[in-house]
Amino acid sequence: MPSVEVPLLSGRNAPGFGALLKTELLLALRKRADIANPLLFFVTVLALLPLGVGPEPELLARMAPGIIWVMALLATLLSQESLFRGDFEDGTLEQMTLSPQPLYFAVLAKSAVHWLVTGLPLALLSPLLGLMLNLPAAGYLCLFVSLLLGSASLSLMGAVGAALTVALRRPGLLLALIVMPLYAPVLIFGTGAVQAAIDGYAYGAQLAILAALLAAAAALAPLAAAGAIRISTDS
């Protein structure tokens, strides 16, 4: 299998953000298992849910927004650990800290790619799962949009946890513990938006808050993650 030449290691010209994004995307798309696993997890556990709580349509409909959102959260968390691990193990991460391009952009690119292969498919799958859980019709669009916005924030915030734990031999649940408090506001406003849509209220405010959280995350999370990467690769 031909190896992908990583531009970061070659030459003096620092590659543009677009090139960075493309490289990361190519690398990510090669690891098909890493993409498929979270989605499979998402779908299979959601299929188990009615077996656990009973098939009554009203009950499932009431729980649907929260359950779908929580499962999206957990699925994102699953794939978060491997965000930097591959690069850490083959030394690319350390190279990134030495490159002239600010680490901020490298992290931003990785988070964007992570969202493209995890959050975006999740959001695209969500109407199907809404169907399985008897989600009321009014909630579908909002569910899709809220997941689209929210999962991007989740990817960014998760990068901070991934960067802090990348050097640890067995990060285990530490990543989840670190990242859950960061995820909580996104979860609250995501489900809040969908619930408002189902109840017939305007949900623009909740979506606006999700967008604001995304903006804040995009600005700050890569900074924190970059700092954490330096700590983790410092030897």
Partner 1 sequence: MEVSLAWQWFHRLGSPRWFYQKTGAWLPWLALASMVLLTVGTAWGLGFAPQDAKQGNSYRIIYIHVPAAFLALAGYYIMAISGAIGLIWKMKLSFAVMRAAAPIGAVLTFVALFTGAIWGKPTWGTYWVWDARITSMLILLFLYIGVIALGRAFSREQAADKACALLALVGTVNIPIIYKSVDWWYSLHQPATIKLTQASSIHPSMFYPLLTMVIGFYCLYAWTLIAHTRILVLQREWRTQWVREALEAGK
Q: Which residues bind partner 1 (CB under 8 A)?
A: 160, 164-165, 167-168, 171, 174, 177-178, 180-182, 184-185, 188-189, 192, 195, 213, 220, 224, 227-228, 231-232, 234
User: Measured from the CB atom, is 143 or 221 closer to partner 1?
Assistant: 221
- How many CB atoms are closer than 10 A to CB 25? 15
- Shortest CB 133 distance to partner 1, Å: 20
* Residue 5: closest CA among 32, 28, 26, 33: 26
Check if the beta carbon of residue 65 is closer than 8 Å to that of residue 147. Answer: no
- Shortest CB 157 distance to partner 1, Å: 9
User: Measured from the CB atom, is 117 or 178 closer to partner 1?
Assistant: 178
Distance (Å, whole) CA 76 – CA 123: 12
- Shortest CB 177 distance to partner 1, Å: 5
User: Measured from the CB atom, is 121 or 222 closer to partner 1?
Assistant: 222
For tokens 């513990």, what's the residue? Answer: 177
- Tell me the Ramachandran region of residue 66: left when phi exceeds 0, alpha when psi lies from -120 to 50, beta otherwise: alpha
User: Measured from the CB atom, is 23 or 153 closer to partner 1?
Assistant: 153
- Shortest CB 199 distance to partner 1, Å: 10
Distance (Å, whole) CA 134 – CA 40: 20
